[in-house]
């Protein structure tokens, strides 16, 4: 069929197409409200890149997004829709906040503890989704949505109740964390956590390798493509599903922790900020390749981070970025359909929504 280079070009093309078309549509909308799309573009670019501080804002948005995207590639490989990734971020944030608020240790000990706790929290929350799915037959989308809501309510309860700041509990945030609990920035000009960057790089390398080179990765793939056959070939499909959830949850947990330990410096309601959902979109866009996911995540971070400048520069609402994002969602789905038509059997988009891990034992054919 096509030589590999041609195929790669097509893959990249189909990934970029929805973004470009969405930009065009958004440009038309901008014209309709009487502004110049070029000005908007300049404002967004300024918002993202005008100085090292604004660029740091983009990177800080990108870090948790990249972590969640890498995690979701694991669950998508296993044929699972881990929509509970938001909740897993929140629980990771809550676990890390507990250490930040109540554990008195020097920073070199406290920070690793916070990260490990975040991984445990996110992993546990994801394991719950997995348990509901593999043992009780609750579809992971329903379980995930329910647990997202629970995680959110739980964090709000903590903020307004037991963890409320001593003066004037407004349910806005806990008391600011002490300095030793916060991830140190690289510099005041470029406030980004080096540790977090290292964690993203490590996650990228480990997940890429684990999916390609390990038996676990192969078993995940087999489970995702056909869990019945995988089971008959001797793959422990339930364990595959469970471990995929836990790995994703741990990465999402770190993402959540980053939000509270760096971006906010306190626990806030909905600490995840929709980043988990955005990560789902990123993975839908690129299929199952971690490197691409990280790159697309960065593009999103630029657009969303840069759009904060719109209000200042053009008196346009920041939600224009949301509009753009909405169009991208629609057009990604459209483009996936086109990709299937023009690149049959090519690198597949993530498993469709019907993919499930068999919960029941296999019955004889009816």
Partner 1 sequence: MDIELKHIHKRFGAVHANNDISLKVSAGHIVAVLGENGAGKSTLMKILSGYQPADSGEIWLDGKSAGSYRTPQGAISAGIGMLQQDPLDIPAFTVLENFVYGQNTGFLFSPRKWRERLKSISARLGFELDSDQPIAHLSIGQRQQLEIVRLLSMGVRTLILDEPTTGISAEQKLVLFKALRELAMHDHMSILLVSHKLEDVIALCDSVVVLRGGQLVGKLQMPATTDELVRLMFGQELAPHAHECLINPKIAINLDNVTLKGKRVTVENFSMKIRSCEVIGLAGLEESGQDLILRACVGLIKATRGQITVNSSDMTGKSYRDFLAGNVAFGAAGRLEEGLIAGLTLTEHIALTTENKTLVDWARATLVTDHKIKQYNVRGRPDSPIETLSGGNQQRLLMALMPDNPVLMALEQPTRGLDVDSARWIWQQLLERRAHGTAILFSSPDLDELVTYSDRIFVAYAGRIVEIPDATQTNIDELGRLIGGNFEKESAL
Chain residues that interact with partner 1, rule: CB under 8 A: 213-219, 221-222, 225-226, 228-236, 345, 348, 361-366
Q: How near is the Cβ of 78 to partner 1 at its closest, in Å?
A: 13
Rg (CA), the chain: 21
Q: Which is nearer to partner 1, 40 or 235 (CB)?
A: 235
Alpha carbon distances (Å) from 251 to 123, 161, 203, 313: 8, 28, 8, 36
| 87 vs 110: CA distance, rounded Å | 24
Q: Which is nearer to partner 1, 225 or 311 (CB)?
A: 225
Three-state DSSP at 271 gives: coil
Q: How near is the Cβ of 230 to partner 1 at its closest, in Å?
A: 6
Token pair in block for residue 149:
């809501």
| 247 vs 74: CA distance, rounded Å | 7
Q: How near is the Cβ of 352 to partner 1 at its closest, in Å?
A: 12
Q: Which is nearer to partner 1, 38 or 233 (CB)?
A: 233
Q: Which is nearer to partner 1, 215 or 315 (CB)?
A: 215
Token pair in block for residue 90:
């929140």
137-174 burial, b for 16+ CB within 10 Å, e for fewer? ebbbbebbbbbbebbbeebbebbeeebbeeeeeeeebb
Q: Which is nearer to partner 1, 232 or 333 (CB)?
A: 232
| 288 vs 308: CA distance, rounded Å | 30
Q: How near is the Cβ of 303 to partner 1 at its closest, in Å?
A: 33
| 83 vs 69: CA distance, rounded Å | 12
Q: Which is nearer to partner 1, 32 or 361 (CB)?
A: 361
Q: Which is nearer to partner 1, 39 or 348 (CB)?
A: 348
Give the residue carrying structure tokens 């669950």.
75
DSSP 301: H
Q: How near is the Cβ of 359 to partner 1 at its closest, in Å?
A: 14
Strand partners, 185: 193
Q: How near is the Cβ of 130 to partner 1 at its closest, in Å?
A: 19
Q: How near is the Cβ of 229 to partner 1 at its closest, in Å?
A: 5
Q: Which is nearer to partner 1, 26 or 219 (CB)?
A: 219
CB 68 within 8 A of CB 275: yes
Q: How near is the Cβ of 355 to partner 1 at its closest, in Å?
A: 11
CB 194 within 8 A of CB 182: no
């Amino acid at each position: 069929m096509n030589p590999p280079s041609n195929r790669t070009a097509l893959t990249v093309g189909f990934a970029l197409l929805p973004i470009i078309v969405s930009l065009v549509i958004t440009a038309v909308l901008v014209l309709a409200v009487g502004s110049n799309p070029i000005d908007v573009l300049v404002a967004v670019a300024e918002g993202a890149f005008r100085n090292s501080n604004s660029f740091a804002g983009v990177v800080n948005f990108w870090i948790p997004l990249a972590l969640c995207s890498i995690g979701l590639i694991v669950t998508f490989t296993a044929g699972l829709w881990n929509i509970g990734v938001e909740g897993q971020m929140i629980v990771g944030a809550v676990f890390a906040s507990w250490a930040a608020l109540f554990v008195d240790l020097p920073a070199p000990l406290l920070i690793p503890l916070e990260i490990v706790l975040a991984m445990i929290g996110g992993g546990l929350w994801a394991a719950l989704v997995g348990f509901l799915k593999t043992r009780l037959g609750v579809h992971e989308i329903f379980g995930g949505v329910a647990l997202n809501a629970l995680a959110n309510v739980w964090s709000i309860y903590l903020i307004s109740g037991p963890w409320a700041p001593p003066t004037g509990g407004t349910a806005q945030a806990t008391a600011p964390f002490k300095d030793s609990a916060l991830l140190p920035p690289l510099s005041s000009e470029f406030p980004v956590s080096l540790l977090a960057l290292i964690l993203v790089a490590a996650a990228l390398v480990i997940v890429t390798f684990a999916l390609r080179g390990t038996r676990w990765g192969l078993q995940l793939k087999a489970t995702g493509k056909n869990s019945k056959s995988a089971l008959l070939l001797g793959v422990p499909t339930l364990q595959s599903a469970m471990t995929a959830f836990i790995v994703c949850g741990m990465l999402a947990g770190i993402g959540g922790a980053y939000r509270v330990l760096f971006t906010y410096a306190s626990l806030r309601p909905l600490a995840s900020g929709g980043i988990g959902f955005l990560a789902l979109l990123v993975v839908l866009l690129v299929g199952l390749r971690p490197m691409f996911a990280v790159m697309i995540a960065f593009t999103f971070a630029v657009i969303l981070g840069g759009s904060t400048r719109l209000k200042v520069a053009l008196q346009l609402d920041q939600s224009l970025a949301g509009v753009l994002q909405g169009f991208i969602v629609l057009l990604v789905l459209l483009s996936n359909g086109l990709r299937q038509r023009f690149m049959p059997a090519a690198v597949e988009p993530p498993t469709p929504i019907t993919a499930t891990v068999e919960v029941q034992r296999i019955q004889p054919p009816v």
